[in-house]
Amino acid sequence: MRWSWLLPLALLALAVGCPKRVPENVAGNDDAQVDQDASKLEELRTRSQDPNVQCSDWCDMKKASCGISKRTCEVSGRHSDREDLARKCVASQEDCAQYADRCTACSH
């Protein structure tokens, strides 16, 4: 009976185990990415209001917003049950199209 205390300790060790690594695409990390990208899009929208925006600026904003849109829509695709992410995907695609139009218009 001297070793009887080892069994509960061993069971506790098995129950607790090692901490699990959280995959990168869990909702919390995806939400953080979408929030960060939404902030970047808002910065671009603010920047686009500047009357001194040059053609190269529009093309830079197009590149940035379209990259953000791609990421946002990829996240939305992984969470097809979430309407909020679908709306953010659509909004980001509209931003991308707007900046692409501005870039194209001033490039010609």
8-37 tens-digit pLDDT: 655 555 555 555 444 444 556 998 999 999
Q: How many domains does the chain have?
A: 1
Does this model's pTM top 0.85? My answer is no
User: Do the domain assignments include residue 48?
Assistant: no
Q: Note whether residue 85 is domain-resident.
A: yes
Domain of 101, in residue numbers: 31-43+53-108
Are 106 and 58 in contact, with CB atoms under 8 Å apart?
Answer: yes
In a domain, 20, yes or no: no
Give yes or no for a contact between 82 and 76, defined as CB atoms under 8 angstroms apart.
Answer: yes
Look-up of token digits 């603010």:
46
The reply to whether 14 falls in a domain is no
Residue 83: band (very low, low, confident or very high) from pLDDT cuts 50, 70, 90: very high
Establish if 74 belongs to a structural domain.
yes
| Mean per-residue pLDDT of the chain | 83
